[in-house]
Amino acid sequence: MRVSFLTFLNVPLPEKPETEDEALLKKWKWKLRGVKKENRERHAQRCDIELKLAVARKMREEEGFYYPHNIDFRGRAYPMHPYLNHLGSDLCRGILEFAEGRPLGKSGLRWLKIHLANLFACGVDKLSHEGRIAFTENHLDDIFDSADKPLEGKRWWLHAEDPFQCLAVCINLTEALRSSSPETCLSHIPIHQDGSCNGLQHYAALGRDKLGAAAVNLVAGEKPTDVYSGIAARVLDIMRRDAQEDPEVFPDALRARILISQVDRKLVKQTVMTSVYGVTYIGARDQIKRRLKERGLTDNSEIFSCSCYAAKVTLTALGEMFEAARSIMKWLGECAKIIASENEPVRWTTPLGLPVVQPYRKLGKHVIKTSLQFLTLQKETDTVMVKRQRTAFPPNFVHSLDSSHMMMTAVACKGAGLNFAGVHDSYWTHACDVDEMNRILREKFVELYETPILENLLESFEKSLPTLSFPPLPDRGDFELREVLESPYFFN
């Protein structure tokens, strides 16, 4: 039976029109070229899926196996096996499970239901934990049908945002609920707990930013705060005010009137996500322009002017909500510029003691002359790339902190007897151990940020480069870091 997103069957080639009309022939050639490109991509996807499944078939008879990891220069961990790993697609994650099964227990059964709702997503993952449990319990018939007849039945699991993982949980939950004692049923499913726009969580903790902390769930609430919806609401408020202005005096009033009906979390999501990586005005404009084109706007000049205006407003809203994050990013960038201007790469040591050096240097040419030809090779020079050192430092520094948090959590989980897997800001364990992992990851986050991270960074710069003068540290807010310990949606 055909499952469309799995098989990726080729698109039929368009037939050549029986005409000598150059315009029609040109249109056919463009369409033919597009279909051939699409079919090449589908062929590549089929090959990739078959490769993953071939590895899975080979390993399925093993009692268990390990994923050795490499770390990059910032300390982020990546599994070494390139094809089938938990960093991969929904298919990879759906067919991987912990080798050891553990009884669900009362807590584990609850988390399995929450996890299914998270995987189904489609807005359900924005509900409170109790709302997610209610969603799962209201769809038990669909869940049982998916487990019993995944292809022949109603195929409810295909409506999930992560269908293969959703199907795996449907099977496990069905087995548990049909048993005489659901709480003693073994579960091998890794339950994910994900950070809420994790880069901004780290910035809020660094700056003790009370407003930013509340926006990214460092503060307890009845349900998770959605930072993308929060920024969209601020953008909409600004545009509504601008729309009241006289277009003769304030030309953006016309753009505001066009965009008011277009503003939602999806329009601003990519810009908010990439704000942690120092997204520029040009980058934000291009992101929003793509969203507007997807919504059917066709006038290119109007799309361009509207995306310029929307980018400006979105960055303004971000600056208002995450003022401390902006200040820290600016300070990090200024320090990096000062260092790189002396032809030195930016260096720092993570809280775990890992030395980090940004590897961005200008490339030079090395010409090799043979009897047949000249070969030009690129090689690094001794000259650092000042702009790249500056723009890359804020995101790289925060990535070195999120990797430290994950490593601290992993070590503590091992000490507590938990099985642990992680993907940057997503931590996994057995359903029965989620409460314990949640306690550990919050304690380790507080422990990480109770150290004077920015003060230590400035001190290291001043010691290693004593002849240079660095700007003072940005002001810190009055957010009480230990509130994280009581926040149920910090990771959820």
Q: How many other CB atoms are found less than 10 A from the CB of residue 342?
A: 11
If residue 69 lies in a helix (H) or strand (E), which one and from where to where?
strand 69-71
The confidence band for 144, taking pLDDT boundaries of 50, 70 and 90, is: very high
Q: One of 48, 90, 194, 286 is an active-site residue; which one?
A: 194
Per-residue model confidence (pLDDT) at position 6: 47
Tell me the C-alpha distance between 112 and 125, whole Å: 13
Region 431-439 average pLDDT: 98
**Averaging pLDDT over each range in 77-91, 197-211, 267-281, 436-450, which range is the top one?**
436-450
Mention every residue, 6+ apart, whose C-beta is less than 8 A from residue 79. Answer: 67, 68, 69, 85, 86, 87
Per-residue model confidence (pLDDT) at position 374: 87
User: Phi, psi at residue 364, to the nearest 5°?
Assistant: -115, 175
Per-residue model confidence (pLDDT) at position 149: 96
Whether 425 is a known active-site residue: answer: yes
Per-residue model confidence (pLDDT) at position 279: 78
The confidence band for 462, taking pLDDT boundaries of 50, 70 and 90, is: very high
Per-residue model confidence (pLDDT) at position 458: 97
- Per-residue pLDDT at 1 exceeds 50: no
Region 17-27 average pLDDT: 87
Considering only 40-54, 400-414, 436-450, which range has the smallest mean pLDDT? 40-54
Per-residue model confidence (pLDDT) at position 346: 96
Whether 194 is a known active-site residue: answer: yes
Amino acid in the structure at residue 390: R
Q: One of 52, 425, 433, 444 is an active-site residue; which one?
A: 425
% of the chain residues with pLDDT over 90: 72
The confidence band for 103, taking pLDDT boundaries of 50, 70 and 90, is: very high
Of residues 299 and 358, the one with the higher pLDDT is: 358
Domains, in order of start, for the chain: 4-59 (no CATH), 87-189 (1.10.287.280)
Q: One of 52, 145, 242, 269 is an active-site residue; which one?
A: 269
Q: Where are the alpha helices (DSSP H) in 208-322?
A: 210-215, 227-243, 252-259, 265-275, 281-294, 300-321
Per-residue model confidence (pLDDT) at position 157: 97
Whole-prediction pTM: 0.88
Q: What is the mean pLDDT of the chain?
A: 92
The confidence band for 352, taking pLDDT boundaries of 50, 70 and 90, is: very high
Chain-centre distance for alpha carbon 149: 33
Measured in residues, the chain has a length of 492
- Per-residue pLDDT at 202 exceeds 50: yes
- Tokens representing 81? 């096996």
Q: What is the pLDDT of residues 27-77, one digit of tens each?
A: 999 999 989 999 999 999 899 999 999 999 999 989 999 999 999 999 999
Q: What is the pLDDT of residues 232-285, one digit of tens each?
A: 999 999 999 998 988 888 888 889 898 888 889 889 989 988 887 777 889 999
Three-state DSSP state, 294: helix
